[in-house]
Chain A
Amino acid sequence: MAAQGARSETILVVGGGIAGITTAVEAAEAGAEVVLVERGPSLGGRVAQLSRYFPKLCHPTCGLEINYQRIRGNRRLRVITMATVAAVTGDRGAYTARIETRPRHVTARCTGCGDCARASQTRVPNPYNYDLDTVPAAHLAHPMAYPMRYVIADSVIGTPEADRIEAACRYGAVDLGEEPGAFDMVVGAVVWATGWRPYDAAKLQPYGYERHANVITNVEMERLAATTGPTLGQILRPSDAKPAKRVAMIQCAGSRDHNHLPYCSRICCLASLKHAAYLREAYADAEVDIYYIDIRAHDKLESFHARIKADPRVRFIKSKPASISENEAGDPVLHGEDTLTRDLYETAYDMVVLAIGMAPTAGDAMPEAALETDEYGFIVAAETLGGGMFSAGVAAGPLDVSLSVQSATAAALKAIQAVRGG
């Protein structure tokens, strides 16, 4: 345990997604000492799993690349991956944070040469692609991984596979004996940027996400559209790898629903507009139907809405579909009421995309009682526990990327004020 009362001007940032990265880099570039802790093997978080951003349809990896460069070029910023914050005690200017690490089984000697992956014979589920495919037991988290260092799946430790992998490394970078660890760190302020997870689609029973192969979620759609995804960027439906040309998007799949997420997740409308753009780009004859309650293209994003709406092959249907069945061809069939024509429809599609909402993960990341959350699990009263605790990005509320960056940049300043006793 670090000496009580020890003071520190270091800022601890929890979570290595776009919000955490931004908080860390902006604070460090303003002169602060920063430690960035990420649960997984690489930085990047959810944005690294997106194919493109709305409304510019540009690639998240482009901004990530710049941020990685900023991180590499900054000595005041230290990144710890495979680590979580188990507890925080103390006060602003003198918190003691308990950091717990999980074994990566690959040391800093790793050059990223990939021999270990080539030697792997076991394949494990690939969370980067939401388990839509698999990767070798020794793998890189994703092509834009930071650090550019491999990781070995715990599942193969103690098997011959592990020995194969170890033998394949020419740089003695494999450490099969690595154990989970824990250490204390004295920091002056903590910024929680713990992000979100997609709401569990299986809970939307009438939509049969688990029963119908061709009902997928919006985050899975991102992976289908990504050149680094399981289909190398071709939008093919799961059941028979046939091009998905007639596609329905169901908005508020979980959001704005007292049975699920009572709040509006804000990004889903725009994400679906973007998915419509993906499909129209991929197939000249693609047809997209967007089922919605209200299209929430806030502020300047309205022009993106207008642009997609102008496409005659994208239809907007004001309706929350009641249920999805499946026909002989394995096509999902939507049932519901078009509230503007008052017709009851029964429409078959190649594929249906559920615009799943964002569920905060602060709950699982947070040490007990450290922070106060609202009824939905978003961090509020961010200045509780000694006035040096802040939240950034989706941990603070359902935000899009730009808003997350704003919130993260603001959090960086609040944290600097806290450590400098301003």
Chain B
Amino acid sequence: MRETPKKRYTYYPGCSSLGSAAHLDKSLRAIAPELDVELEDIEDWNCCGASVGHVEGGALPNMALSGRNLAQAASQAPDDIVTGCASCYLNTHGVNEKIKTDIRARRRVNEALGAADLCYDDDLQVRHACEVLVNDVGLDVIRDRVRNPLDGLEVAGYVGCQTVRPFADTDSGGRYDTYDDPAFLDNFAAACGAEPVAYDPKTACCGGSVSVHSPDKTLHLIKEIVAAAHDSGADVIATPCPLCQQNVEMYQAAINKRFGTDFHMPVVFYSQLMAVAFGLDGTAAALDQNMIPPAKLVDLAKKPNE
């Protein structure tokens, strides 16, 4: 067996893990042990407010949401908090940093938490799963775990916005990549034996939550993202972000309708690529949860009890 000591993290799944991004959560949990990573959920975790909570809830209540999760995590273990969801990361990491650096914010949040006899006075690190993969696990280890190289799979690495902006190139964010031309996702794909294609809209915006409630405003953005992947001959789009995955996948029908295109471009999570590359079966990789089946990846995946 490998000697590398296990790395322990406190895991924050986020609401999408119970729905639209279940396949991210499932595949992440599947690859973690392969990489000697141990994840312990934040007990009784709550919603982070995502990208719209603040509008109705207000700034401080929105911060208090993350405050509660942080307090809970701190009471469990001093380990770093990891989340796979861009929005969860943005809120939790942001609030955590604000509490660390802004005394007034720290006091106000804790006053609110006080209503439940909670308090957050620690200085945990809140980290994105991708940053942990780059900085703690490392590409070499990932490459090393590949037992089923994704030969011939052409991948368009779509990073989106919030996974890298505004924290990827900051100290607190681990300086693991850049805002406009990040490399980590292509590196992940390559490490899995797939072929990253040249892909311009790498960090273009899918419209985020605006796409969720007002797709008419943003459909053209998503179209560009899919079209570029299609033109570059990619078999799949890979992304780290739940909201990107959902928007880019579920609106393709609407796009085809509005723009007369004929897109059926599978959109998977990098973690699903890894799961398959690590030799896990399609179910463990949650490939059955993609609305547009990633046929080629399915073929590459080991069949159960194979």
Direct contact of A and B (CB under 8 A): yes
What residues make up the interface of A, taking CB atoms closer than 8 Å to B?
205-206, 208, 211, 323, 325
CB of A205 within 8 A of CB of B200, answer no
Once the chains bind, are B180 and A323 in contact (CB under 8 Å)? yes
Min Cβ gap A206→B in Å is 5
Bound complex: CA A325 to CA B200 (Å): 9
Could you tell me the distance in whole angstroms from the C-beta of A402 to the nearest C-beta in chain B?
38
Chain A: CB-nearest residue to B198? A211
Q: Are A206 and B180 in contact (CB-based, < 8 A)?
A: yes
Roughly how many angstroms separate A323 CA and B181 CA in the complex, as a whole number? 12
Set of chain A residues within 8 Å of B180, measured between Cβ atoms:
205-206, 208, 323
Nearest B residue (CB) for A259: B169
Q: Chain B 170-197, CB within 8 Å of chain A: the 1/0 string?
A: 0000000011110000000000000000
- Secondary structure at the A interface, as helix, strand, loop or mixed, is mixed
A206, B181: Cα distance in complex, Å: 8
Bound complex: CA of A206 vs CA of B179, how far in Å?
Answer: 9
Interface bits B117-141 vs A (CB < 8 Å: 1, else 0): 0000000000000000000000000
How many B residues have CB within 8 A of the partner chain?
5
| Interface residue ranges, B against A (CB under 8 Å) | 178-181, 200
* Chain A residues near B179 (CB-CB < 8 A): 205
Note all chain B residues with C-beta closer than 8 A to A208.
180-181
A257 → B minimal CB distance (Å): 14
Measured CA separation A167–B35 after assembly (Å): 60
Most buried by B among A205, A206, A211: A205
Question: Which residue of B is nearest A210, CB measured?
Answer: B181
Min Cβ gap A214→B in Å is 16
Between A and B, 8 residue pairs with Cβ closer than 8 Å are A205-B179, A205-B180, A205-B181, A206-B180, A208-B181, A211-B181, A323-B180, A325-B200
**Cα–Cα distance between A211 and B178 once the two chains are bound (Å):** 14
Chain B residue at minimal CB-CB distance from A207: B180
- Return chain B residues, CB-CB under 8 Å to A323: 180
> Nearest Cβ distance between residue B200 and chain A, in whole angstroms?
7
A113 CB to nearest chain B CB (Å): 48
- Expressed in whole angstroms, the minimum distance between the Cβ of A297 and any Cβ of chain B is 31
Q: Which residue of B lies closest to A205 (CB)?
A: B180
B181 contact set on A, CB distance < 8 A:
205, 208, 211
7 tightest A-B CB contacts, nearest first = A205-B180, A206-B180, A205-B178, A205-B181, A205-B179, A211-B181, A325-B200
- Chain B residues with CB under 8 Å of A325's CB are 200
Q: How far is the CA of A312 from the CA of B108 in the complex (A)?
A: 58
Q: A205-B179, A325-B200 are in contact. List 8 more A-B contacts (CB 8 A).
A: A205-B178, A205-B180, A205-B181, A206-B180, A208-B180, A208-B181, A211-B181, A323-B180
Which residue of B is nearest A203, CB measured?
B178
In angstroms, Cα B180 to Cα A25, docked, is 48
In the assembled complex, the Cα of A258 lies from the Cα of B272 at a distance in Å of 39
Bound-complex Cα distance A206 to B202 (A) = 12
For residue A211, which residues in chain B have a CB less than 8 angstroms away from its CB? 181
Closest to A204 in B: B180
Expressed in whole angstroms, the Cα–Cα distance for A205 and B178 within the complex equals 8
Instruction: List chain B residues, Cβ under 8 A from A206.
Output: 180
**Which chain A positions have C-beta within 8 A of B178?**
205
Distance of A325 Cα from B202 Cα, bound (Å): 12
CB distance from B138 to the nearest CB of A (A): 24
Question: Bound state CA distance, A325 and B179, in angstroms?
Answer: 15
A205 contacts which chain B residues (CB < 8 A)?
Answer: 178-181
Distance in Å from the Cβ of B295 to the closest Cβ of chain A? 30
Which residues of chain A are within 8 angstroms of B200 by Cβ–Cβ distance? 325
Cα–Cα, bound, A206→B178 (Å): 10
Residue of B at shortest CB range from A211?
A: B181
Nearest-CB residue, chain A, relative to B178: A205
- Most chain A CB inside 10 Å of its own CB: which residue of B178, B180, B200: B180
Q: How far is the CA of A211 from the CA of B203 in the complex (A)?
A: 14
A253 to B178, CA, bound (A): 18
Which chain A residue shows the least CB distance to B180?
A205
Query: In whole angstroms, what is the CA distance A208 to B179 when docked?
Result: 12
A321 → chain B closest CB, angstroms: 13
By beta carbon, the residue of chain A nearest B179 is A205
A323 CA to B179 CA, complexed, in Å: 12
Question: In whole angstroms, how far apart are the Cα atoms of A188 and B179 in the complex?
Answer: 50
**Bound Cα distance from A211 to B200, whole angstroms:** 10
Shortest CB-to-CB span from B172 to chain A, Å, is 16
Chain B residue nearest in CB terms to A323: B180
The minimal Cβ–Cβ distance linking B91 to chain A, given in whole angstroms, is: 24
* Distance (whole angstroms) from the CB of B7 to the closest CB of chain A: 31
Which residue of the partner chain B has the closest CB to A206? B180
Could you tell me the distance between the alpha carbons of A208 and B202 in the complex, rounded to whole angstroms? 13
| Nearest B residue (CB) for A326 | B200
Closest A residue by C-beta to B200 = A325
Shortest distance from the beta carbon of A334 to any chain B beta carbon, whole Å: 15
Name the residue on A nearest B181 (C-beta). Answer: A205
A208 → B minimal CB distance (Å)? 8
A332: shortest Cβ distance to chain B, in Å?
Answer: 13
Name the residue among B178, B179, B181 with the largest chain A CB count within 10 angstroms.
Answer: B181
